[in-house]
Amino acid sequence: MRLVVAHCSVDYAGRLSAHLPLAPRVLMLKADGSVLIHSDGGSYKPLNWMSPPCSVSVSQPDEHEAAGGVTELWTVRHAKTDDVLVVSLHEILHDSAHELGIDPGLIKDGVEADLQELLAEQIEVLGEGHTLVRREYMTAIGPVDILARDANGRSVAVEIKRRGGVDGVEQLTRYLELMNRDPHIAPVTGVFAAQEIKPQARTLAQDRGIRCVVLDYDAMRGMDDVHARLF
């Protein structure tokens, strides 16, 4: 990992074209050849970058560039596409290199998969008398998150999202259309379950006869702890 702080301008040509005017910035060169150009704000996204696999080649500025104050040019080429990032370095304020090794990586907890697991365990959250048929019920166009049965024994297809938008409703609609064509399983009703359901999505779901259920992750995890203690 090499860290450089320098006045620079940047040009990118690839899926789009982009340009950064001359200013002081932090340049991060990773061991895999990738380059990140960060400013002192924004969020974690760099102003510009080149993703691996790629390689950097350093060259000297031509007469015109040198006259403009450029001391060094970095040309970063992607190995597979023809994306190119050119960093024109002016004054270099800092330059250091560090050996980091391979990172052991992030351990996560609390994403959609966890929600699905919890809901499968606590399927009664959908309403009294509901029973789980299976998680990841496969259809021709992909897996339905949860297939359940309501108190009357009718099939219920559940689509789970952390944040429920129209996309999720569309997805569930496609599954329902398909499943309701299959006489073995029809009729199937739909439930759209999410920690947060956006108004547009709720409207669309209601319009299509899909029930919306808001999930409380913390409460469900609490219930899960009770389960764990009791059994």
Is residue 228 involved in binding DNA (CB under 7 A)? no
Out of 63, 67, 80, 103, the only residue in the binding site for a second copy (CB under 8 A) is 103
Is residue 189 involved in binding DNA (CB under 7 A)? no
Query: CA–CA distance from 126 to each of 43, 122, 156, 209, 214 (Å)?
Result: 38, 8, 10, 15, 10
Question: Binding string to DNA for residues 40 to 59, with x set by CB under 7 A, is what?
Answer: --xxxx--xxxx--------
Quote the least distance from Cβ 48 to DNA, whole Å: 4
Quote the least distance from Cβ 153 to a second copy, whole Å: 32
Distance CA 30, CA 144 (A): 40
Distance CA 125, CA 128 (A): 8
- Residue reference for tokens 């390689």: 55
Our CB check for DNA shows the closer of 65 and 112 to be 112
Is residue 167 involved in binding DNA (CB under 7 A)? yes
Quote the least distance from Cβ 116 to DNA, whole Å: 9
Quote the least distance from Cβ 134 to a second copy, whole Å: 24
Distance CA 167, CA 157 (A): 16
Task: Please give the single-letter amino acid code of residue 170.
Answer: E
96 is in the binding site of which of DNA, a second copy, none (Cβ under 5 to 8 A by kind)?
Answer: a second copy
Q: Is the Cα dihedral 155, 117, 208, 195 positive or negative? A: positive
Quote the least distance from Cβ 66 to DNA, whole Å: 26
- The residues, ordered by sequence, that sit 6+ positions from 124 with a Cβ below 8 Å of its Cβ are 130
- The residues, ordered by sequence, that sit 6+ positions from 213 with a Cβ below 8 Å of its Cβ are 125, 126, 191, 192, 193, 194
Out of 57, 63, 64, 108, the only residue in the binding site for a second copy (CB under 8 A) is 108
Which residues lie near DNA (CB under 7 A)?
A: 12, 14-16, 18, 42-45, 48-51, 78, 83, 85, 105-106, 108, 111-113, 138, 142-143, 145, 160-163, 165-168, 171, 198-201
